[in-house]
Homo-oligomer: A and B are copies of this chain.
Amino acid sequence: MLALTGPAFADDAFNVKEIGSYHVGGREVHLEGLPVKMLKFTPDAKPLKSDPNGRFEVEQMYVQYVRLADPKAKYPLLMWHGGGMSGVTWETKPDGQLGWQSFFLKAGHDVYVSDAMERGRASWARYPEIYKTEPFFRTKAQAWTISRIGPTFEGRKEYDGQQFPTGSFDQLMKQAVPRWGSENNAPTQAAYDAYVQKQCPCVLMLHSQASSFGFKEALRHPDLIKAIIAVEPSGRIDASTDELAKMSGIPHLFIWGDYLKDVPIWGETLLPTLESYQDDLKKAGVPVTVWHLPEMGIKGNTHMMMMDRNSDVIAAKIQDWINDAGLMK
C-alpha cells in the first residue's frame, strides 16, 4: 500500500454513483404560550408578526454521502466529528489541501460525513424552551491550546515541529460551530442510533467527542459496526467485561498525536481515561491497536491531525490497517 502514502492520487478523478443527504432521528415538539413578536425577514419588507408557538422538528442529525460507482471497501465509512465542529472537519483542510473525506473516497470507500444534532446542517432548537441551557462558543485561544497547536494563543506560539498549518488557523475557526453541554448527549446519542440502524453495517471513524457516541453504538449494535477508528477519542463508556466482550468481533484502532503531556486536560485527564478503556477492551478480548504516532516516527501531530500538513501519511496508515482488518473487497 505504499502507493497510498502522500498525495499520490490527489489528482485522480473518481466515478460517483450518487451524492446525497438526509436528516435522521429527531421528534416533533409543540410549543405553546410564548409571546408574539414583530420581526423583519427580507430587506425592504415591513416587519411581520412572528408567532413562535407551534410545531417544530428537533434533535435530528444530518448525513451527507458520496457513493462510488465501484467501491473497493466492504462497508461504508462513517466519519463522526468532534465537539464544537461539524462534518466539515473531514472535508477540504483549512489550508485548502484535500482532507480525509477525499482520501478515503479515492481509496475506495463510500464515505458518509454527518453533522451531529445541534451542529451545522443538523440545525438547533430554541433555548431554554427546548434545549435546556445556552450554547458554548469556543474562543480562538481555547481552540489553540486544546488542539495542542502550541502553549499559548497570545503571539500564536507553536510547539516545535507541530504540523497544523497555523497560517490557516483562522480558517479552522470559521469551521467552528456552537455546542451545548452534556444535557444534549441523550438526544444526540438517539439520533446517532437512528443513523446507525438506517445505514450500517459500517466502519466508524470517530474524532474526539464523537468517541463515546460511537463506542456506545458499537456496544448496542455489535453486528452492525465492523470496525472503530478512534482519532484522539475524548470520552469512554462504562460497561462490564462481559458486556464489552460483545464487541470481540470489532477491531478498534486508537490514534494519538503529539504533545499530550504538554496539555493537562489531555495528559492528565483524557488520555488516562481512554487508556483505561483500551485496557478494559483488551481484557474483554476486543482486538485493540493503539498508535502513539510519535513512537512510530510521525511527530508533531495535533488534535486536528486530519487537517495537519502530514494528514495523508496518517490516512495511508489507517488505510493499511483497514486492509489488514480484512475490510476491503
* Distance (whole angstroms) from the CB of A67 to the closest CB of chain B: 9
Chain B contacts for A105, CB-based, 8 A: 19
List 10 A-B pairs, Cβ < 8 Å. A23-B174, A39-B181, A40-B181, A42-B235, A44-B238, A54-B139, A54-B142, A86-B121, A121-B177, A124-B178
A16 within 8 A of B: yes
Number of copies of this kind of chain in the complex: 2
User: For residue A28, which residues in chain B have a CB less than 8 angstroms away from its CB?
Assistant: 170
With CB as the reference atom, state the residue of chain B lying closest to A70. Answer: B13
Q: Are A40 and B182 in contact (CB under 8 A)?
A: yes
Taking the complex as formed, is A9 at the interface, i.e. its CB lies under 8 A from any CB of chain B?
Answer: no
- Point out residues on A near B: beta carbons under 8 Å: 13-23, 26, 28, 39-45, 50-57, 60, 62, 64, 66, 69, 83, 86-88, 91-92, 96, 98-99, 101-102, 105, 115, 120-121, 123-126, 133, 136-137, 139-142, 170-171, 173-179, 181-183, 185, 209, 212, 234-236, 238, 269
B173 adjacent to A57 (CB under 8 Å): yes
What B residues does A51 contact at CB under 8 A? 139, 142
* Contact of A15 (CB < 8 Å), options: B16, B170, B183: B16
By the criterion CB–CB under 8 Å, are B62 and A123 in contact?
no
Question: Which residues in B have their C-beta under 8 angstroms from that of A60?
Answer: 174
